[in-house]
Structure 1
Amino acid sequence: MAVMDQILDLSELSDSDIPDAVLRLAYASFFDWLACGRAGIGEPVAIKLHAFADHEFGSGASSLFGGGQAPARMAALVNGAISHALDFDDTHFDHVGHLSVGIFPAALAVGEETGATARAVAESFLIGAEAAIRLGRILGTVHYNRGFHQTATAGAFGATLAAGRLYGLSRDQMRAALGLCSTRASGLKSQFGTMGKPYNAGLASSNGVESALLAGLGMSSADDGLMGLQGFVATHSDAPDMDAGWQTPPPQEFRFTRNSYKFHACCHGTHAMIEALLSALQTHRIQPEEIARLRVGVNPRWLSVCDIKTPRTGLEVKFSYSWLAGMVFHGYATGNDRTYTDTLCTDTKLREFSGKVTVTGEPSLSDQQTQVSIELTSGEKIAVSQDLADRMPIEALETRLLTKAQNLIGSGAEDLVALWNSFDSIDATTVGAFVQATQHQCQAT
């Protein structure tokens, strides 16, 4: 069966085909995304995009993080960028992309516009996320390694499915929407460490809403903008893996269940190292001055993503193995987004420690694995490893996400927990009220 038809079949999956356990995980992502978005409203990129929305001006029913409403496409752009501003949202390593920030903004914006329920928003997100994951697997590592940001490329198709499902597009209209998205999806890894990275998430969401809306208005497109001649896959990957996308398709299996969540406010590629170092500190009382050398082995793809040797800003620190390793041993709170200030770049302790760190690419390691060797001045060597693919029980995940939300948004977490417990019975506008709850500062920075 053609990939396009498989995706269209996925878009038509009935609610009853979605297992309760998978929906529960989607609800956890909904909660986590809302917490990240609420926490990001004071970031510079949030203020600039609010100004951009004000400049375009237009009435709309879709809520903006930080206050106000806008048309669905603009709300998706603003909320996608704001919720990714802290780089604290979830990741799926099947295609190395952030699902929630690229798809939930589109789903919620259209959900508010169409009067959908919160459950329908979560289900539409889940369908879109599953499509993005599987398309990302087809595009393969060559797509990512060439420099494309899967959050914005594969993610845009997921946002299109989510928005199209809530708009009630027919199968032919959904085909057209995916075709339009194929000429619209974009996003580059060269933006990492700048405001352009969260902007990529906003692009995914807004492109999805725009493509679905235009298709609903009758705009035509290529019959198969994805897999056809000079379509998206052919032009964006030299080695697509056609067998990787639809092995055991839904409802038999949802690959979304492999989704990973962040508990450190930095690039997910660094989390296995941080967790490994924290485990070493639990079993050994190591002082930073006792470390002679620190060797970190990671999958080679991360070397072009999060191995900034000398970060210049707090944002770049989030993509620096050597700086983050020093932060762990010097007791910095890597799970607190407020830790990542520009002053970290001039911290003499961290600069000195970074000279002890060597990061190498190890092809035998997966995206989620890290091997660390700590050599002490005494000559002792400590080896630790970590694999983020080892899943925690859903109850433990929900508890950690609750703690994370409390750290991110303080008392606002109580209102968010009430939403989480009511997703089965509330509508999208109730969620939108939470999104708008804290007014943003309009002054440019």
Structure 2
Amino acid sequence: MTRDDTTAASRRLAEWAAAARFDEVPQHHDAILNAWVDSAAVAISGFDTDEFAPVRRFATDAGIDGPGRSQLWGDGSTTSAASAALLNGTACHVMDYDDVHTRIHGHPSTVLFPALLAVAQEVDAPPERFLSGYVAGLGVMTGVSVMFGPDHYTRGWHSTATCGAVGAAAGIAAMLEFDVDGLQQAMAAAASMVGGLRANFGTTMKPLHAGLAARAGVEAVLLVRAGATARAGALELPLGAVSVFGDGSWPGDLDDPAAAVIEAAERAPEQLGLKLYPSCLGTHYAIDAALEVRERLAGERVERITVRIPRGARTALLYDDPTSGLESKFSLPFAVAVALAHGLPGPDRFTDEGAADPRVRALMTRIVVEEDPSGGDAAASMGLRYAEIAANGAEGRTATARVAHPRGSAANPASAADVDAKFRECARRLPDGHARKLLRRLRVTRDLTTLRDLFPLV
């Protein structure tokens, strides 16, 4: 294999990203703008959480919360681009209420939008370039996930962070109109800054992965712009990102591996899904099934609940007996019990107080989870996931439900009205006039004259 062959995928990915334009993908505008509104919503709400407070204190105590033109979405104050990316990215992910992507096996917008807007506000980039940067960043993030392989996530890496930093760097570089060489170097630089372990799910580190990836994307681009160098093919070269982070499956027997990466990049917006519950996506299948069962039993006391899921579907659900709000977001028994006990689970259910709810805890003791070994590995392929629930009522009735496409997922998408309603819920802390004005501006971002001072000062 020649040197050119070895690095062909990252080169073609950089060429594709440099040419990506929001105006040229009108079929994806609704999905992208929904993701943008959704990201702003959950970040605004995330700023108010106890879980975000340590990260905000850290930024101040460590002296990285310096002067700049980039806004913090929760209060409209300004700071440096790197600090804004870190804090907004973390706030966006802290409630685990942000969007998901089935191919990436992670959360793209929580990294991309905070990183892009931080730099866009600093340099006053045109709104169209900001949105084009998102198209480029999402495509690169997806392409990198293909190169890392389906078992990258199951081996313990948090794809939001590992793929996200490279995608953020590519998106920012594309927004700033770097040439292909510069864009490829920015991607390579970001690849040296990635990390994020799934063992830390259910702690502050999990949302911080998103913030650190967003900041890494910003810093990689600023370093390259300042003259720092990185090996342009560091993704695929020996000792590079694919060999270190990848699962060994790529390029496999593909005739044209680079073409497969570009195809994934081009189709990336099709696989965006939004969350309608503030918990790990792995719980949403069972939540929707539990809501159906709850309706059918119509208030009858539930004696026994059996939850059946495919093999590997619990890979991110680390806590059968959660003791905190963060842990409860990654607990399948808790998610089922809270849906059965209270109906639609909002943010107030996944708190420290919610995790101790005696009604929910009592229901959890009646839940049995079974994994079906006959199908494929749902840890490696999100397309194989489902949840079946069978419940027995105290009066003898039974109810069953099966969900393969939870509400908000790419296959069962949320409407713009759903997203706007979620925004209003999350932005309740803002004065009403401020929230309405911000929502209108987010919806017409492409037509704004500037992105500076986008978020209200509160």
- Report the TM-score, using the length of structure 1 for normalisation: 0.90
Contact 1:163/1:208, CA 8 A, preserved across alignment: yes
Paired residues for 1:96-111 under 5 Å: 96-111=105-120
SS at match of 2:370: strand
Paired residues for 1:223-302 under 5 Å: 223-242=232-251, 243=254, 246-247=259-260, 249=262, 253-282=266-295, 284-287=296-299, 289-300=301-312, 302=313
- Quote the Cα distance in structure 1 between the aligned partners of 2:281 and 2:97: 8
Give the C-alpha shift of residue 126 in structure 1.
1.7
Partner residue of 1:382 out of 393, 397, 400 = 400
SS at match of 1:152: helix
Paired residues for 1:8-407 under 5 Å: 8-15=14-21, 18-54=24-60, 55-65=63-73, 66-242=75-251, 243=254, 246-247=259-260, 249=262, 253-282=266-295, 284-287=296-299, 289-300=301-312, 302-334=313-345, 336-362=346-372, 363-364=375-376, 367=382, 369-377=385-393, 378=396, 380=398, 382-388=400-406, 391-392=411-412, 397-407=415-425
Structure 2 vs 1, CA of residues 322 and 6 (structure 1 numbering), >3 Å: closer, same or farther?
A: same
Give the C-alpha shift of residue 194 in structure 1.
1.0
Give the C-alpha shift of residue 239 in structure 1.
2.2
SS at match of 1:247: helix
Alignment match, 1:442: none
Is the deviation greater in 216-225 or in 416-425? 416-425
Contact 2:69/2:79, CA 8 A, preserved across alignment: yes
SS at match of 2:388: strand
Alignment match, 1:429: 451
Give the C-alpha shift of residue 140 in structure 1.
1.9
SS at match of 1:373: strand
Give the C-alpha shift of residue 250 in structure 1.
5.6
What is the one-letter code of the residue matched to 1:271?
Answer: H
SS at match of 1:44: coil
What is the one-letter code of the residue matched to 1:289?
Answer: R
SS at match of 2:132: helix
Residue identity over aligned pairs, in percent, reads 23
SS at match of 2:402: strand
Structure 2 vs 1, CA of residues 342 and 51 (structure 1 numbering), >3 Å: closer, same or farther?
A: closer
Contact 1:164/1:213, CA 8 A, preserved across alignment: no
SS at match of 2:168: helix
Deviations 1:125-175 (A, max 9, x none): 121011111211221232111111000000111100111122332222112
Is the deviation greater in 146-155 or in 239-248? 239-248
- Quote the Cα distance in structure 1 between the aligned partners of 2:206 and 2:340: 28
Alignment match, 2:427: 409
Which residues of structure 2 form unaligned runs of 5+? none
Alignment match, 2:440: 418
Contact 2:144/2:261, CA 8 A, preserved across alignment: no
Structure 2 vs 1, CA of residues 16 and 180 (structure 1 numbering), >3 Å: closer, same or farther?
A: closer
What is the one-letter code of the residue matched to 1:42?
Answer: D
- Quote the Cα distance in structure 1 between the aligned partners of 2:382 and 2:233: 31
- Quote the Cα distance in structure 1 between the aligned partners of 2:22 and 2:336: 46
- Quote the Cα distance in structure 2 between the aligned partners of 1:16 and 1:375: 47
Give the CA RMSD over aligned residues: 2.4
Q: Number of residue pairs matched?
A: 431
- Quote the Cα distance in structure 2 between the aligned partners of 1:34 and 1:428: 17
Contact 1:373/1:383, CA 8 A, preserved across alignment: yes
Alignment match, 1:441: none
Structure 2 vs 1, CA of residues 299 and 123 (structure 1 numbering), >3 Å: closer, same or farther?
A: farther
Is the deviation greater in 364-373 or in 402-411? 364-373
Contact 1:291/1:374, CA 8 A, preserved across alignment: no
Give the C-alpha shift of residue 14 in structure 1.
4.4
Which residues of structure 1 form unaligned runs of 5+? 439-445
Give the C-alpha shift of residue 62 in structure 1.
0.8
- Quote the Cα distance in structure 2 between the aligned partners of 1:390 and 1:154: 20
What is the one-letter code of the residue matched to 2:350?
Answer: Y
- Quote the Cα distance in structure 1 between the aligned partners of 2:56 and 2:321: 32
SS at match of 1:151: helix
- Quote the Cα distance in structure 2 between the aligned partners of 1:375 and 1:16: 47
What is the one-letter code of the residue matched to 2:426?
Answer: L
